[in-house]
Structure 1
Amino acid sequence: MDTARRVLVVEDEPKLAAVLCDYLNAAGYGSEWLADGRLALQRLQDGSQAKPAAMLLDLMLPGMDGLELCRAVRAFSDLPIVIISARVDELDRLLGLELGADDYVCKPFSPREVVARVRALLRRADGRLAPVTQQAAAPMVIGGFSLDEAGQRIAWQGQVLQLTPVEFKLLRLLLSQAGRVFERSRLLDLIHEDFRDVSDRVVDSHVKNIRRKLAALQPPQDCISAVYGVGYRFDPGVGAEGKVAG
């Protein structure tokens, strides 16, 4: 078992948490269980303990609910997060994604599917954090943005964007083919190629998160354009006020 790849399960139903931990362990991951949202936040903020590789997060939690916890974690970490919840409404799914979750699984679910989704997110995170080798190609520069494929990083004039694995994958595609309009269905296939039963509006939620991070840059950037009824396009060199950045 690769205990270094530990998944934090934040779930207040002991039997369900035990099942998830068992399946994670069988898949070769370590597991850790907490039933309280506030304790989970303290655990993730504790610099004396090794950080988990991912988190499975229920929404209905004592201490601090899952949405609040997700928002708090995203303020300091790009830890891959999969929400597991009995809330099946699309609005709840979109809210979870807008707060920074990478995926949302509705109860009841197959534990094998949950493990598969964790594995997919960790695979993307591994690529994003892969060390740069001497043989790696130089970063691609587009409109002031630097796309480092080897290091799986995107930066604007030296400011590295703190992207989740899904956000990196989406922005990488838009950036690498600047000016091209991508349909929502195409972007959805890209970011959730191994998932099922997800809405096109999931793409809108991820793009909203990316735009928020672009707006926090200095100077702010607003280079992802929505094409009504179709999808999104990356327009390099456009600042937050619609002016070409020089």
Structure 2
Amino acid sequence: MEQRILLVEDEEDISNLLKIYLYDGGYIVDFFHNGLDALNHIETHNQEYDLAILDVMVPGINGFDLCRKIREKYFYPIIMLTAKIEDIDKITGLTLGADDYITKPFNPLEVMARVKTQLRRYKRYNEHSVKEQVNEYDIRGLKINKATHTCSLFGETVDLTPIEFSILWYLSENQGRVIPSEELFENVWGEKFIENNNTVMAHIARLREKLKEPVKKPKFIKTVWGVGYKIE
């Protein structure tokens, strides 16, 4: 799905430059040179964006006021643009709910880098929020419950160690995605992964035994050779 960005900037040269880079980056851009017009559009269409880029000094209502109004209802990332460099302006913007702050003149490539960073963070935050609400997964008869810390297979209890439970839970909440051994180790053990570490492989093998998985064609935990593991 294409991501939609709100751009509010009254300087034509800057706005045109940013629009070119944003369009080339594959984003949909709603552009306004007046803060009040942008606010009216958001409120009239109940428009939610993936990210907003707001110039502080725009006519209608300034970027600070627009930021404050957006934060009354929406939580997507906001990047402030300004020609001012006073710390008080930066503090004001961040206090009102801005996520980042870029002073003019700037390199448009830097703006694009900041945009991508904020979008990645927002996506991870949303994914984490969704995962936090899920306490149980039922995958074709394999049930794992985080609240009770229990696991069962076709109604029969499967006794797992805390580490085994954490591995199975992480794979379950990332169903369909291949999880590299490095990621699995660092999220379950909370330590930096070291090359030639066979810890994950050994625990996966033990998990498969407990789940009575056939060696050649496991039903639940599948190996993607050279990449990692996944549950579909």
TM-score, scaled to structure 2: 0.55
Q: CA deviation at 1:25?
A: 1.2
Matches within 5 A, 1:79-94: 79-94=76-91
CA–CA distance in structure 1, aligned partners of residues 25 and 145 of structure 2: 34
Kept after mapping to 1: 8 A contact 2:48/2:74? no
Aligned residues: 139
Q: For 1:83-119, what per-residue CA distance to the aligned partner results, in whole angstroms no more than 9, with x for missing partners? A: 0110111111111100100000000001111111111
Supply the distance in 2 between the matched residues of 1:11 and 1:137 (Cα, whole angstroms): 49
Which protein is richer in helix relative to its size? 2
1:138 deviates by: 4.2
1:39 Cα deviation from its structure 2 partner:
1.1
Q: Which residue of 1 aligns with 2:55?
A: 58
Per-residue deviation, 1:77:
1.0
Residue equivalent to 1:18: 16
Describe the shift of the 1:138–1:56 C-alpha distance in structure 2 as closer, same or farther (beyond 3 A): farther
Q: Which has the higher contact order (CA 8 A, sep 6+)?
A: 1
1:76 matched to 2:76: no
Which of the pair has more CA radius of gyration?
A: 2
Which of 32, 35, 45 is the matching residue for 1:34?
A: 32
Deviations 1:201-234 (A, max 9, x none): xxxxxxxxxxxxxxxxxxxxxxxxxxxxxxxxxx
TM-score (norm 1): 0.52
The answer to whether residue 113 in structure 2 is matched with residue 119 in structure 1 is: no
Q: RMSD between aligned alpha carbons?
A: 2.5
Aligned residue for 1:60, secondary structure, equals coil
CA contact (8 A) 1:5 1:53 kept: yes
Q: Which amino acid in 2 is paired with 1:61?
A: V
Question: In the alignment, what sits opposite 2:99?
Answer: 102
The answer for unaligned runs of 5 or more in structure 2 is 139-143, 148-169, 175-232
Q: Which amino acid aligns with 2:3?
A: R
Compared with structure 1, are the counterparts of its residues 137 and 23 closer, same or farther at alpha carbon in structure 2 (3 Å cutoff)? Answer: farther
> How far apart, in 1, do the equivalents of 2:77 and 2:48 lie?
12
Alpha-carbon separation, structure 2, partners of 1:137 and 1:65: 49
Residue type at the aligned position of 2:56: L
Cα–Cα, structure 1 residues 34 and 137, in superposed 2: closer, same or farther, change >3 Å? farther
AA of the residue aligned to 1:81: I
Counterparts of 2:64 and 2:25, CA distance in 1: 27
* 2-structure distance, mates of 1:137, 1:114: 43
Secondary structure of 2:75's aligned partner: coil
Q: Report if aligned partners of 1:21, 1:32 keep a CA contact under 8 Å in 2.
A: no
Cα distance in structure 1, aligned partners of 2:29 and 2:146: 38
- Give yes or no for contact 2:35–2:58 (8 Å, CA) kept in 1: yes
SS in structure 1 of the partner of residue 84 of structure 2: coil
Instruction: Report the alpha carbon displacement of residue 47 of structure 1 after superposing the two structures with TM.
Output: 3.6
Query: Is the contact between residue 55 and residue 82 of structure 1 (CA under 8 Å) also seen in structure 2?
Result: yes
Q: What's the secondary structure of 2:3's corresponding residue? A: strand
Matched letter for residue 18 of structure 1? N
1: distance between equivalents of 2:26 and 2:58? 27
Structure 1's 138 and 43: CA in aligned 2 closer, same or farther, altered over 3 A? farther
Shift in Å, 1:137: 8.3
Once the two structures are TM-superposed, the CA of residue 28 in structure 1 deviates from its matched residue by: 1.8
